[in-house]
Structure 1
Amino acid sequence: MEEPVFDYENYSYYLEYGDFDDIGRQGYVQKETLHIISVVIYSISFVLGIIGNGLVIWLTTCKRKLTVNTIWLLNLAVADLVFVLFLPVSIDYVLRDFHWDFGVVMCKLNSFVSVMNMYSSVLFLTVLSLDRYVSLVHLDWSQRHRTVRRAWAVCLIVWVFAVALSIPTFIFRDTIELHNKVVCFNNFEREEGHVAAMHRHIAIVAIRTTVGFLLPFSAITVTSVLLAVRVYSSTIVRLSSFSKTVSAIILAFFLCWAPFHVFSLMEISMYISPQLGDVLRVGFPLVTSLAFFNSCVNPLLYVLIGQKVRRLLKRSFLELTKKSLRELSQSVSATQSISVPANAPAAESIELSIV
């Protein structure tokens, strides 16, 4: 069986069977350091992602009437939550020194979810940016056509598009046993050989970079510039707290994901310039961890920047505390009401306990 092409996306094959044998102890120390950093960032992303995105979903569905704005944030939180639920699998993979112990289906599903999260997040951020521009600049049009029902329709289109773009990951992701380890990697070769694998690899990275980064970045940049010009030249249009939150979310996404896409382009340049291998080996684990960390950043930004979210959280926790104290008080009162004097007959005690 021919060995698969290098897979820098998960960097497992290269770390295990790359140049570490040639660079000695320093290389292995470097590898262990990258493993530790990855596990720490994945663990932080998992804990904060579960708590933060769970709170966002709870607040938007239970504590507030759904509006167009909250629908975008709800779907963004769902995408991030689904992704962080799979992070323990990646943590286990790193801790086992990149030995995949979950089977080929989970290998495909885990990578599929991560890519789908990337596409859905950037598409929802693009929709958020476009919607913000329309609702602030074209107020009359947005009041007539910007409805909750249409927002849900747009969300459905985004999810279908994100799933469709992620299908190649599910198709090409595979497992193989090498040197007594099972590796989860992108098997672009199939039966056609290295040339076909190279073409598939370049095509997938090109689509991912264009649709998942360049086009959304261009759309968001254009609308943000137009909105900024309109705000500074108008005494009517003013940025709300929500609009500032959206700006922070968009900035955080591109700061987290831009290095990953840069390294992806460097990855396919390996076919021409193999000397980039050392840079990729050192950098790809870090930029991948940074990209994954984005899934827990958004809820933090909601709390830090969004005044309404802070007020809603404060009010919700106060209500929850009051409810807990009220139930505790009722429980104590009920216990006191059925307490029995020490000299009461045994039969009366039994009757009271049954009641």
Structure 2
Amino acid sequence: MEANFSIPQNGSEVLFHDSTTSRVIWIFLVVVLSITFLLGVLGNGLVIYVAGFRMAHTVTTICYLNLALADFTYMASIPFQIISIVMNGEWLFGLFLCKFVHMIININIFLSIFLITFIAMDRCICVLHPVWAQNHRTVNVARKVIVGAWLVVLLLIFPHFIFLNTVRDERGKVHCICNFESWTTTPEEKAKVSTIVSLISVTINFIICFSIPLIFIVICYGLMAAKIGRRGFVNSSRPLRVLTAIAFSFFVCWFPFQLIFLLGNIGNKETLNNIDMWVNPASTLASFNSCLNPILYVFLGQQFRERLIYSLSASLERALREEPALNSDKVRNLSSQTEYSET
């Protein structure tokens, strides 16, 4: 997500030129990011309050709480992105914030998709193996998985954090980029190492943060649909509606950004010239995803307008609450139906 406020690692700089169209795009991006910041702080803050302090901790609420924490933390990077867009990619905030802001962004990218995938797998287990889920699906297990996800994310972003540095270009502008000068002795070696490392990083990021999670989520939905879709449970299940909307919005918002940076590192010079103008819009769309989840929680709740008038926090509670689908009666019914169908 560095494109908003740094030179992409292939060396091309995203600039806004003095044209009417570019100025309109520039204003639009700043407005969208500002709206994202306001909605994201308010919405995710409310989710953290409701899921963290107003509701009993279940597997579902813990997952959505951590997702809101990742999005809420990400909001701290948006003012820096706005200023960097205004400054045409120049970084004005020093080395520490260069590393810290990028760390926040990468944590949000990795942790969000890990949590969404985990929620999809959790719902799939509840549908396919309700008896096992009732006995083994506990809050402590969920907490251990989420803590493990945080540790894996920190491990994945550590190399990026180490090599980020502030670099002054030939025009005197400072940029926040990955710098490999300590690994090389000549400009040619620096360019070669930078290209190779950037290609590996972007490819791994596309695979880990997009392709593999998408495959897992599609498989989970396929298994759930095959198991209970014909019984009409999927369409009436609130947790599945919420999860579907969250997963769909994540991939729609992030796909342009992931694709542009993948093409930017494997394409030729002509490809770079064609996609440069789309880097900031794609990055802004990805940022907008961080304020969507609280809106989806509320709008997907039953009787949204009545709840919103009555209590916004109560609406969030109902949207985030774990569906009582695993009580003993329903577990026995689903289990008996499964055994009957298998015989």
For the residue of structure 1 that corresponds to 2:27, the secondary structure is: helix
Deviations 1:223-251 (A, max 9, x none): 11111122223467775112111110000
Q: How does 1:113-128 map to 2 (within 5 A)?
A: 113-128=104-119
Per mean C-alpha deviation after superposition, the further-off stretch among 36-45 and 137-146 is 36-45
For the residue of structure 2 that corresponds to 1:86, the secondary structure is: helix
Report if aligned partners of 1:34, 1:285 keep a CA contact under 8 Å in 2. no
> Are residues 1:38 and 2:29 paired?
yes
1:181 to 168, 173, 178: 173
CA RMSD across the alignment: 2.7
- Which residue pairs with 1:300 in the alignment? 295
2:212 to 201, 212, 215: 215
Q: What is the rounded CA distance, in whole Å, between the counterparts of 1:237 and 1:213 in structure 2?
A: 25
Report if aligned partners of 1:252, 1:294 keep a CA contact under 8 Å in 2. yes
Amino acid at match of 1:206: T
Report if aligned partners of 2:199, 2:266 keep a CA contact under 8 Å in 1. no
> Are residues 1:61 and 2:52 paired?
yes
Change (3 A) 1:189 1:202: farther
Q: What is the rounded CA distance, in whole Å, between the counterparts of 1:19 and 1:56 in structure 2?
A: 35
Amino acid at match of 1:183: H
Q: What is the rounded CA distance, in whole Å, between the counterparts of 2:296 and 2:106 in structure 1?
A: 23
- What TM-score do you get using the length of structure 2 for normalisation? 0.81
Q: What is the rounded CA distance, in whole Å, between the counterparts of 2:101 and 2:309 in structure 1?
A: 36
Amino acid at match of 1:259: P
Report if aligned partners of 2:74, 2:105 keep a CA contact under 8 Å in 1. yes
1:9 to 3, 20, 24: 3
Q: What is the rounded CA distance, in whole Å, between the counterparts of 2:303 and 2:107 in structure 1?
A: 30
Q: What is the rounded CA distance, in whole Å, between the counterparts of 2:30 and 2:15 in structure 1?
A: 20
Unmatched 5+ residue regions in structure 2? 185-189, 315-343
Deviations 1:47-90 (A, max 9, x none): 00001001111111222111111111000000000001221122
Amino acid at match of 1:52: G
**CA displacement at 1:110 relative to structure 2:** 0.8
- What TM-score do you get using the length of structure 1 for normalisation? 0.79
Unmatched 5+ residue regions in structure 1? 1-6, 320-355
Report if aligned partners of 1:100, 1:183 keep a CA contact under 8 Å in 2. yes
Q: How does 1:189-200 map to 2 (within 5 A)?
A: 190-192=182-184, 193-200=190-197
Amino acid at match of 2:138: T
Change (3 A) 1:239 1:182: same
**CA displacement at 1:310 relative to structure 2:** 7.6
Change (3 A) 1:237 1:138: farther
**CA displacement at 1:92 relative to structure 2:** 1.9
Change (3 A) 1:133 1:182: same
Amino acid at match of 2:90: H
Report if aligned partners of 1:188, 1:198 keep a CA contact under 8 Å in 2. no
Q: What is the rounded CA distance, in whole Å, between the counterparts of 1:18 and 1:58 in structure 2?
A: 40
Change (3 A) 1:176 1:293: same
Deviations 1:130-150 (A, max 9, x none): 001111221001001111111
Report if aligned partners of 1:231, 1:238 keep a CA contact under 8 Å in 2. no
Q: Percent identity?
A: 31
The number of residues matched between the two structures is: 306
1:266 to 263, 268, 289: 263
Deviations 1:107-137 (A, max 9, x none): 1111111111000000000001000111122
Q: What is the rounded CA distance, in whole Å, between the counterparts of 2:111 and 2:14 in structure 1?
A: 36
Q: What is the rounded CA distance, in whole Å, between the counterparts of 1:318 and 1:203 in structure 2?
A: 44
**CA displacement at 1:307 relative to structure 2:** 3.0
Q: How does 1:1-355 map to 2 (within 5 A)?
A: 9-10=3-4, 12-13=6-7, 25-26=18-19, 29-178=20-169, 179-188=171-180, 190-192=182-184, 193-234=190-231, 239-270=236-267, 273-307=268-302, 316=311
Per mean C-alpha deviation after superposition, the further-off stretch among 168-177 and 208-217 is 168-177
For the residue of structure 2 that corresponds to 1:9, the secondary structure is: helix
Change (3 A) 1:265 1:274: same
For the residue of structure 1 that corresponds to 2:165, the secondary structure is: strand
**CA displacement at 1:38 relative to structure 2:** 2.3
